[in-house]
Amino acid sequence: MNAQDCLNMLREIKDVAFATVDAKGKPQVRMIDVMLVEEEKLYFCTARGKAFYKELVQSGNVAVTGMNQRYQMIRLSGPARRVEDQKEKIDRIFEANPSMIDVYPGESRYILEAFRIENGELEFFDLGQPHVYRKTFLFGEHKNTVKGYYITDKCTGCGVCRDICPQQSILGNTPYEIVQEHCLHCGLCYESCPAEAVAGREL
Ligand code: SF4
Ligand code: SF4
């Protein structure tokens, strides 16, 4: 599983939730088709008259999530940019998604504008297996810190966190260690550690 695999999964799910923030600071979410995934870039489109278009242009950021029938979830967040050659990309999108021809016949397709997400943070979260599995990827030029909890050198080795972790994701090594791939990010270890040795990143 890598960043390209995550983007491909979003394309397979196709109808996924896109969240933005409007001009009043209110969160907005709607279902949008993932139209293309090429060379670690995700493409989608929307019409210039839609509130979604205005929110994309104003804030430039979007968060995307989708889940398949195997309870495997992908989350993506990053900047969405208008592509340079709109006509060429809209035609390419219609070629790859022929059902769009019925929705926007003839020249009406050019009321749509194509956007690209080419950097950001991606997360794969598999809830379909007995032991949850999580992996986070940065792609493109995005350099944000990856989310999660970790154990600092304040740890006294008391074992409280290991015993309460609902996914048995804490190893009693020296020092204690969180197995990031199986962590729920629930925060129980953070709240329960008597030495305040558990810290969070970007939480
Ligand atoms: S509860 Fe805190 S001090 Fe105890 S083992 Fe876990 S991290 Fe270390
Ligand atoms: S955040 Fe939750 S799942 Fe992750 S290590 Fe701590 S207790 Fe376990």
Structure confidence at residue 34 (pLDDT): 98
Report the pLDDT value the prediction gives residue 142, as an integer from 0 to 100. Answer: 60
Any idea which ligand is nearest the CA of 158?
Answer: 1
What pTM was computed for the model?
A: 0.81
The pocket around ligand 1, CB under 6 angstroms, is made up of 151, 155-161, 176, 193, 195, 197-198
Measured from the CB, is residue 197 less than 6 Å from ligand 2? Answer: no
174 confidence band (pLDDT: 50, 70, 90):
confident
Nearest to 38 by CA among 75, 73, 112, 88: 88
H/E run at residue 148: strand 148-151
Q: Residues 104-159: pLDDT tens digits? A: 999 999 999 999 999 999 999 999 888 899 998 888 876 555 678 999 999 999 99
Strand intervals (E) in 41-145: 41-47, 61-67, 72-79, 81-82, 112-117, 120-126, 133-139
pLDDT for the residue 145: 59
Nearest residue (by CA) to ligand 1, atom 6, is 161
- 6 and 74 Cβ atoms separated by less than 8 Å: yes
Nearest atom of ligand 1 to the alpha carbon of 198: 7
